[in-house]
Every structure is written in structure tokens, then in C-alpha cells.
């Protein structure tokens, strides 16, 4: 089955994370996963069962990483320790430059839902928007706590993705609060039956 564009993006994100870790030093997948969790990197990756191992397999197949050695501790299964290759290091830097410099409009479930918001009544839409605000605000508070706690330990440069996400959430909350006010004041109102009648009347018949 051909890989979709979204799956390719997710694979590249995991690949980037693996290459960045291996540029620090050689390590095995279990250690990569542990560091990702400690540094809250997994929260920005689409996590599916086997995502990390699929990325490692793909990177090894393309020559961007290679097995350095195997190790075993006690009765635990044998672990393969990987290292980044010179091609992998070059690809890591290439991806970083591209991802940072090129704005990409990535798929957003929320943006798609907004495109069809008229199918909810204004009252229902306002209720759902308020619920979204109530879910976003604690996430912003959590990010603020993480930044205060982790910055002295690992430095701001390693937390920029959390800082960026926090700013995005704060901007979204402000916009949602204004949208909510407009709906509840009647400044933004709609009638789905009226809209559907109009669309049916003027839609071209094939």
C-alpha cells in the first residue's frame, strides 16, 4: 500500500528526532524513547505503535544510521546500539534548514471542522468553543510550569518547541474568546436551514 503524504511527514518527524539524538552519541532504541519522554519530545510526534522502530528501520535502510554494536544486560533481550552516519548528519541539517525556513500549511482537524461550523447551531457552536477554551487553558498552564521547571536544567534552546506551542495556544484562546463573544452577542449568527436551502437552490445540477 502506498504511503500517504501525512504518513511520510510523520516518518520524517520521527526520523529527525532519531537523527538528532544519535548526533549526541550512540544509543539503543530504549534509551532514545526514555530521553524523548524526559525531554517531552514525544508530545510533538504522532505516536503510533512501533513508530520509533519503523523510523530506525527506515533510517538504517537509507544509510542515515547504522548499527554500531549489540549489548546485553543480565537476562534482558539483546539490544542494538545505533550511530549516525556522515550522510545522516548531513540529512539532519538539511531537514532542519528546510523545516524551519519553509512555512507549510499542515492538515488541522480543527481548521477542517471550522470550515463546516455552520452545521451546528450558533448555541451549540458556542458550547463547543467554550469547551475547547476550557481544555486549552490548562495546557497553557502546564507548558508554563514545564518551561519554568526544565529551563534551568536543560536550557531554553531545548524547549523552544514548547514555548512556540504555548504562544500558539494563547493566540488561539484569544481568538476563540472573541469568536465566542461574537456568537453570543449575535454579531455572528447563522441559520443552517436557510443556508442549506440556498445551497440546494443555487448549486449546479449535473
According to DSSP, residue 46 is labeled -
Per residue in 126-180, pLDDT tens? 999 999 999 999 999 999 999 999 999 889 998 999 999 999 999 999 999 999 9
d(Cα 87, Cα 19) in Å, to the nearest integer?
11
Burial class (CB in 10 A: 0-12, 13-18, 19+), 143: buried
Q: What residues form DSSP beta bridges with 82?
A: 27, 67
69 within 8 A of 81, measured Cβ to Cβ = yes
User: What distances in angstroms separate CA 66 from CA 21, 24, 113, 119, 127, one per listed residue?
Assistant: 14, 15, 43, 52, 52
Q: Cell match 503510533: residue?
A: 48
Residue 3 has pLDDT above 50, yes or no: no
* Residues of the chain by 3-state class (helix, strand, coil), percent to 5: 70, 5, 25
Answer whether 0.85 is exceeded by the pTM.
Answer: no
**Secondary structure class of 121 (helix, strand, coil):** coil
Residue 26 has pLDDT above 90, yes or no: yes
**Mean pLDDT score, 54-81:** 87
Q: What residues form DSSP beta bridges with 70?
A: 80
Residue 102 has pLDDT above 60, yes or no: yes
Q: Give 59's pLDDT tier (boundaries 50, 70, 90).
A: very high
Nearest to 180 by CA among 97, 119, 117: 117
Amino acid at each position: 500500500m502506498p504511503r500517504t503524504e501525512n504518513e511520510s511527514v510523520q516518518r520524517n518527524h520521527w526520523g529527525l528526532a532519531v537523527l538528532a539524538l544519535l548526533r549526541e552519541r550512540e544509543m539503543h532504541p530504549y534509551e532514545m524513547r526514555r530521553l524523548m519522554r524526559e525531554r517531552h519530545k514525544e508530545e510533538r510526534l504522532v505516536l503510533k505503535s512501533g513508530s520509533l522502530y519503523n523510523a530506525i528501520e527506515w533510517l538504517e535502510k537509507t544509510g542515515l544510521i547504522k548499527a554500531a554494536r549489540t549489548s546485553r544486560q543480565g537476562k534482558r533481550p539483546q539490544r542494538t546500539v545505533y550511530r549516525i552516519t556522515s550522510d545522516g548528519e548531513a540529512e539532519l541539517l538539511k531537514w532542519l534548514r528546510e523545516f524551519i525556513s519553509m512555512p507549510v500549511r499542515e492538515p488541522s482537524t480543527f481548521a477542517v471542522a471550522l470550515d463546516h461550523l455552520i452545521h451546528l447551531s450558533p448555541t451549540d457552536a458556542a458550547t463547543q468553543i467554550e469547551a475547547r477554551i476550557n481544555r486549552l487553558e490548562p495546557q497553557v498552564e502546564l507548558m508554563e510550569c514545564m518551561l519554568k521547571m526544565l529551563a534551568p536544567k536543560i536550557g531554553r534552546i531545548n524547549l523552544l518547541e514548547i514555548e512556540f506551542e504555548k504562544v500558539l495556544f494563547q493566540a488561539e484562546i484569544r481568538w476563540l474568546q472573541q469568536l465566542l463573544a461574537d456568537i453570543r452577542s449575535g454579531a455572528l449568527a447563522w441559520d443552517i436551514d436557510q443556508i442549506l436551502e440556498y445551497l440546494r437552490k443555487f448549486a449546479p445540477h449535473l
